[in-house]
Chain A
Amino acid sequence: MLYREAGQFRTSYAEDQQIFPIRQDRIAITAFLLVAFIAVPLVANEYWLKAILIPFLIFSLAALGLNILTGYAGQLSLGTAGFMAVGAFAAYNFELRLEWMPILLSWILGGLAAALVGILFGLPSLRIKGFYLAVATLAAQFFIVWALTKFPWFSNYSSSGVITAGKIEILGYVFDSPIEKYLLVLTIVVLMALAAKNMVRSETGRAWMAVRDMDVAAEVVGIRMMHTKLLAFAVSSFYCGVAGALYAYAYIGTVEPEGFNLDLSFRILFMIIIGGVGSILGSFLGAAFIILFPIFLNAYADPFAHALGIDLPPGMTSNLELMIFGALIIFFLAVEPHGLARLWQIAKEKLRLWPFPH
């Protein structure tokens, strides 16, 4: 009753091709953005902004990048954190060595540097696929972290290899408080998410999906394999690189290469598995889940165990977290291989018919 496209007629091509063709979707998105941009900064306290909302947005962006590569173009990658590291360190170096460089430009350049590295490590994808490729992307992960640790130039010869991101200043205005940082990150993430949403329904995105579904068939119908696959690697790494730069500048502040380890890559991979492989919305849902879940567990595991009369030994929560994480992933894959995004889709389809059964 509420969610139904009946009666919404499109009278021009522009209307037919807009991002959200259903009016209710447009209203919902607008309302959501209004909440995110206006209501959240008014309500949220510093802890929420700093520890939950900002990392959520940044990880969503990284998950979005991985989703473009794995979900849309079908190339499994285990090197996401490596590409994030490239973005973070490149942005830092641009900012450090070229003083006139505006911060936004250095983030974009950081993303482009990550894209270049992504293309380099995407080259094997032209010859190999599937698991072989997944292992090959591990090479990217280990090599990048090693190179950043080993060559002190990248971290400006700091003794511990740790870099400290400078302050964020755009056109003379300093983004200092958590609210300002949140709004800046939110703007960037929203813009890039919209761009991704558009990209995947364009010719490029359809070519990616054709490659994902069957690359030989895609080649036969005339999709340029090299161009398509490398573009997927480049775009995906660009997103990850920008996410990495934001991670360094807007979230952590001081980062070291080891912070971008394989574990982080896996976390981002889990985000898209739980959220939904091949779905923009899924990247956000998955990131929210993976960020919120450990916080929730840390807050409630001990009291819950106490209520049951068990004393958890120290360190047990993190083990439990690992176990529950693993079990949840298996559960999700078995029950809903398409992730949370699919549940939302099912809900929408149910809503369309409601209140009638068929």
Chain B
Amino acid sequence: MQFFLEVLIGGLLSGVMYSLVALGFVLIFKASGVFNFAQGALVFLAALTTVGLMERGAPGWITGLIAVILLALAFFAVKPRKGAVAARPDWRKAAVLGGIAVASLFIIGKPLPFWVAVAVTLVFMVGVGVATERIVLRPLVNQPPITLFMATIGLTFFLEGLAQAMWGANVRGLDIGIPDEPIPWLMERYDIQVSSFDLAGAGIAAVLVAALALFFNKTRIGRALRAVADDHQAALAVGIPLKQIWAIVWAAAGFVALVAGLLWGARNGVQFALTFVALKALPVLILGGFESIAGAIVGGLIIGASEKLAEVYIGPMVGGGIESWFAYVVALLFLLVRPEGLFGEKHIDRV
């Protein structure tokens, strides 16, 4: 029984970590209907960037390139091109972009402390998110969802290549200051081993979900997001700036990817295999339904727990290693009963 509980709790906690990755998918799918396969690559890129910044600071050539691009954008914000819609100079935007560009030049080649590295990575990830929306998805607006999905597969390749081109492909450790040891009092009183790291990870995930839920339900932008998710055209018609909203969503996905990347990176080491963690988030998604944040959490818990239990109890019967596919089969069987997932919206097809 104790062993069962231990496996169950371990599974649930690792399930929370899956949910963390799944959240990124849900955010984007909810707001723009894009199934963002690149979320795993974003997680990888975020983790690698943080570690790389801590190790040896920003690489010269790419930072310089980014700074030049940002300065150019800042210039065009102040001096709009002929025929541009926003004819007024946007000083605030220019100041932000220019500030980032100048600041980025100061961190070239200097190893950064952890929190600074995280902050810089956050700015970088938000930038990547916004750039993705602008460069990849906007030209593809109104294409069928499958096309958008394939575009994000292309984006995955690009980001994976970029991450490794920037930082190299070595496996690196990441220490975020939370020990990965069993919690002593649980050990003593119930004889159950639960890693404090897993628990902290679950706590961070819970905070993140709560924050996202508040953001979606209580803020102006959150309401606009939900409106866009509900019906793009109606949202446009009542004056919600669609492009801005999408940029915000992608930035938020970059942020979630950073959190997931830090936790997963600290857990398993920062390496290419992180991208496969994102694949594990897919059964979580289809179990929970693509449109539901709650679904991502519940799905993650179910997948995490059932996967660990199956590995321990069914695994030995067939030779082990079933963790690699069990989650998919669970999700698949579940879909046969409820094709739209636990919390997904049921679509009625009309001819």
Q: A residues within 8 Å of B by Cβ?
A: 76, 124, 127-128, 130-132, 134-136, 138-139, 142-143, 146, 149-151, 214-217, 220, 262, 266, 269-270, 273, 315-316, 319-330, 333-334, 337
Contacts and interface: CB of A to CB of B under 8 A. Distances in A.
B283 A135 contact: yes
B161 A323 contact: yes
Interface string B148-169: 0111011111111110110011
A151 B35 CA distance: 35
Nearest to B349: A216
B285 interface: yes
Contact of A143 (B136, B145, B149, B325): B325
SS of B interface (majority):
helix
Contacts of A134: 149
Between A132, A262, A319, the greatest number of chain B beta carbons within 10 A of the residue's beta carbon is seen for A132
Nearest to B320: A150
B162 A323 contact: yes
Given A330-B155, A330-B158, A333-B143, A319 B324 contact: no
Given A136-B286, A143-B325, A333-B150, 13 more contacts: A128-B336, A132-B341, A150-B318, A269-B150, A273-B150, A319-B162, A320-B161, A320-B165, A322-B164, A329-B150, A330-B151, A330-B154, A330-B158
Contacts of B332: 124, 136, 139
Contacts, number: 133
A353 to B, nearest CB: 29
Nearest to A272: B150
Given A269-B150, A322-B161, A334 B139 contact: yes
Contacts of A131: 35, 145, 149, 286, 290
Interface in B299-343: 318-322, 324-325, 328-329, 331-332, 335-336, 339, 341
Given A146-B321, A216-B351, A128 B160 contact: no
SS of A interface (majority):
helix
Contacts of A216: 349-351
Interface of B: 35, 135-136, 139-140, 143, 145-147, 149-151, 153-162, 164-165, 168-169, 279, 282-283, 285-286, 290, 318-322, 324-325, 328-329, 331-332, 335-336, 339, 341, 349-351
A150 B35 CA distance: 32
A273 B140 CA distance: 15
A333 B147 contact: yes
A191 B259 CA distance: 53
Contacts of A138: 279, 282, 328
Contact of A333 (B154, B320, B322): B154
